[in-house]
DNA sequence: TCAAAAGTGTTATCCTTACACCCATGT
DNA sequence: ACATGGGTGTAAGGATAACACTTTTGA
């Protein structure tokens, strides 16, 4: 092994029917029948920048024209590729997150998959996911007990990353949770299949990294709008935020927050037929990208249930 | 050109005498006599992860044992290396930011340089840097005028990234400002020497990226403490934050903020001999890393001068 | 005694949260 | 009528920003 291979990975998100989706492919070449993230190569001569290269092969493979694209992280651990491949070259992946709205029919080999198929414990919209108490926390606890020395440290780590203490659940720590579950062997045991679907190579880790980053970014940059059509109701906007954050929000305050931040402007038009009073359609005020790119959509969390 | 080269760049920060420093090297191999960021190669066989590889060669080259290390960005533009080199291989750099306290004597070839030598317009601690009005803004204005079409857009961009409008200066937009100056040709004209010192290749851009990221991170993660000894006074802490943020802070509120956030705890000890009443020495409460890693040091900005 | 730095108290203001309530449409 | 979603008012509490002021040392 004396040279390098560079791959570009794209975590392409869309939100359809209030569910967050990633674009996945089935790639025999990766030596796995699990879904993989969209993947391509840089043309070292033709692609002027990494991002342009990414856009090019995504377009070629799927026909999708990416809008918002952001570099996520570069993965280069020695063990991330199968040993056989490692003999020849060390594999790097420069991973990007992309947000699209179009619900395009993806290319033949590509499929939209629900993000929470792979990370089911991250979706708290319907309350605490049962898988936590049914499988994950018991498994983690068992893993922590046993050896005396690292036990307290492990237990504390579990408390914190899974919000068991008084600090509560922090929706941004997606990667911490994934890594803890991975270390604890949750994905390599008999019941691995109950802990969500797997992905090829370390793609599930990349997905976790991307989700955590996106959840953070939502709060201080107006990126949600990349996932919406030009006109949308405030509830649609809220649902998209909720689907990514994995949390329910309190409507009245959400509306005010968004409006006060000047993120949207009402078009006079109304949107009816959804079973209630017709809602006004809003549009993203593109000016804020220039004015105050620090603004985002905050997360006024849901008041604790009274009962 | 059909293969890839991968380099690891480290933006190693320290704060000495209230000034932020970067570790620089003089590397003939880069075809430039300008200082460069510390740079090394990954051993594809020996280094298990990118970060471990980075720590290894930094130790070998400078004797520094890095503490906090964070991946910054991967740079891979086709034109970032000299054309000659590009014929053979495409050069990637995975850049990291590292924070150290030790004021080690760096290795023979390495030097600590003041960050603001390279980005002088970013230091607002003594008020608005004169270079802005003396050189940069006039240059940008001249660049914006001329062609009719992009003029308004260019002018707006200048207003915003340099805080000329009512939004004011946003200390985090370091990269935006660097890129705007670069596009406007500030670094390739006669007076380039007045616009701060240059660096090899695109290292100045990497430095700008790192500073912006660090300034953002300061506000929500307790990273400053990596740049301080175990015991410090609150003013020392404040000075370190100020030197990185490039802004003066208001002491009474800064203290309270830090204490209320539970970031520090008083050791009974005092530290005198600095020309005033002795200050209590504080220590970082390492627990917060586990408890609430979302806490950081906010920036209670200085009240506007009354005159 | 004065300068320099360490610290404390207190207010005005804004933002967020929580809860109560009314409005308009389809069935 | 009533369910569903749209939308407004408002008061309590907390965080922040601003300013005034006291304390303790060294020169």
B3 vs A contacts (CB less than 8 Å)? 3-4, 44
User: Pick from B244, B131, B259: which is nearest to B192 by CA?
Assistant: B131
Residues with CB under 7 A from strand C: A 250, 252-253, 256-257, 260, 270, 272-273, 275-278, 298, 300-304, 306; B 233-235, 251-252, 255-256, 270, 274-280
| Mean pLDDT, residues A110-138 | 95
Interval A60-117: pLDDT, tens: 988 888 999 999 999 999 888 776 666 678 889 999 999 998 776 666 678 999 999 9
pLDDT of residue B169: 87
Phi, psi values for residue B70, rounded to 5°: -145, 135
Interval B266-307: pLDDT, tens: 998 888 777 778 999 999 998 877 655 444 455 555 554 333
Enumerate chain A positions whose Cβ falls within 8 A of a Cβ in B: 1-6, 42, 44-45, 47-50, 71, 73-74, 76-79, 89-90, 92, 94, 156-157, 160, 167, 170, 172, 290-292, 294
| Mean pLDDT, residues B94-106 | 85
Q: What distance separates the 2 farthest-apart alpha carbons in chain A?
A: 66
- The nearest CA of chain A is from the CA of B64 a distance in Å of 23
Q: How far apart are CA A301 and CA A249, in angstroms?
A: 5
Interval B170-197: pLDDT, tens: 899 999 999 999 999 999 888 888 899 9
Structure-token pair, residue A149: 């020395």
Whole-angstrom Cα Rg for chain B: 21
User: Pick from A1, A11, A2, A161: which is nearest to A75 by CA?
Assistant: A11
**Contact by Cβ (8 Å): B18, B72:** no
Calculate the CA A281 to chain-centre distance: 27
Mutation target to probe the B interface, by most B beta carbons within 10 A, among A44, A47, A81, A158 is: A44
User: Pick from B108, B122, B94: which is nearest to B23 by CA?
Assistant: B108
Nucleotides of C under 7 A from a protein CB: 3-9, 16-20, 23-26
- Judged by phi (left if over 0) then psi (alpha if -120 to 50, else beta), residue A178 lies in alpha
pLDDT of residue A84: 60
pLDDT at A155 over 70: yes
Mutation target to probe the A interface, by most A beta carbons within 10 A, among B51, B153, B205, B290 is: B290
**Contact by Cβ (8 Å): B8, B39:** yes
Q: Which residue of B has its CA nearest to A158?
A: B290
Interval B227-263: pLDDT, tens: 999 999 999 999 999 999 999 999 999 999 999 888 9
pLDDT at A189 over 90: no
3-state secondary structure of B83: helix
**Contact by Cβ (8 Å): A236, A269:** no
Residue nearest to nucleotide D24 (CA to C1'): B277
Local structure of residue B258 (DSSP, 8 states): H
User: Pick from B101, B98, B13, B24: which is nearest to B61 by CA?
Assistant: B24
pLDDT of residue B109: 78
Q: How far apart are CA B20 and CA B113, in angstroms?
A: 8
**Contact by Cβ (8 Å): B201, B30:** yes
Q: Which ranges of B89-129 would DSSP assign to H, the alpha helix?
A: 115-118
Residue nearest to nucleotide D15 (CA to C1'): B257
Q: Do A4 and B50 touch (CB under 8 A)?
A: no
B49 vs A contacts (CB less than 8 Å)? 76-78
Q: How far apart are CA B75 and CA A49, in angstroms?
A: 9
Long-range contacts of A198-202 (CB under 8 A, 24+ apart): A198/A34, A198/A118, A199/A24, A199/A34, A199/A35, A199/A36, A199/A37, A199/A118, A200/A27, A200/A30, A200/A31, A200/A32, A200/A34, A200/A35, A200/A36, A201/A30, A201/A32, A201/A36, A201/A80, A201/A81, A201/A82, A202/A75, A202/A77, A202/A80
β pairing state of A89-99 and A3-16: parallel
Structure-token pair, residue A150: 């690292």
Q: Which residues contact A166 (CB under 8 A, 6 or more apart)?
A: none
3-state secondary structure of B239: helix
Q: Which residue has the higher pLDDT, B24 or A300?
A: B24
Structure-token pair, residue B56: 């290894």
Residue nearest to nucleotide D7 (CA to C1'): A252
User: Pick from A149, A136, A138: which is nearest to A196 by CA?
Assistant: A136
Q: How far apart are CA B50 and CA A210, in angstroms?
A: 19
Instruction: For residue B21, give Cα distances in angstroms to A251, B37, B180, B216, B223.
Output: 47, 12, 24, 18, 16
């Amino acid at each position: 092994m004396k040279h390098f291979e560079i791959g570009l990975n794209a975590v392409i998100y869309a939100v359809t029917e209030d569910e967050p989706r990633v674009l996945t492919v089935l790639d025999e070449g990766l030596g796995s029948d699990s879904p993989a993230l969209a993947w391509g190569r840089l043309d070292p001569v033709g692609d002027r920048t990494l991002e342009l290269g990414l856009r090019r092969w995504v377009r070629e493979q799927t026909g999708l024209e990416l809008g918002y694209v952001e570099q996520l992280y570069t993965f280069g651990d020695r063990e991330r590729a199968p040993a056989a491949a490692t003999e020849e070259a060390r594999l790097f992946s420069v991973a990007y997150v992309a947000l699209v709205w179009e619900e395009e029919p993806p290319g033949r080999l590509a499929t939209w998959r629900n993000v929470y198929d792979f990370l089911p414990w991250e979706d708290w919209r319907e309350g605490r996911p049962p898988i936590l108490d049914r499988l994950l926390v018991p498994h983690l606890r068992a893993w922590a007990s046993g050896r005396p020395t690292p036990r307290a440290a492990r237990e504390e780590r579990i408390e914190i990353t899974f919000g068991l203490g008084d600090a509560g659940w922090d929706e941004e720590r997606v990667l911490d949770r994934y890594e803890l579950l991975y270390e604890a062997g949750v994905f390599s045991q008999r019941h691995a299949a109950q802990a969500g679907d797997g992905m090829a190579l370390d793609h599930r880790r990349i997905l976790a990294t991307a989700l955590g980053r996106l959840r953070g970014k939502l709060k201080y940059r107006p990126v949600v709008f990349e996932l919406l059509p030009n006109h949308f109701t405030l509830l649609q906007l809220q649902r998209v935020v909720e689907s990514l954050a994995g949390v329910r929000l309190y409507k009245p305050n959400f509306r005010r927050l968004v409006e006060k931040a000047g993120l949207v402007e009402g078009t006079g038009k109304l949107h009816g037929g959804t079973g209630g009073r017709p809602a006004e359609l809003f549009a993203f005020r593109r000016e804020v990208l220039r004015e105050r790119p620090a603004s985002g959509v905050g997360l006024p969390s849901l008041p604790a249930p009274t009962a």
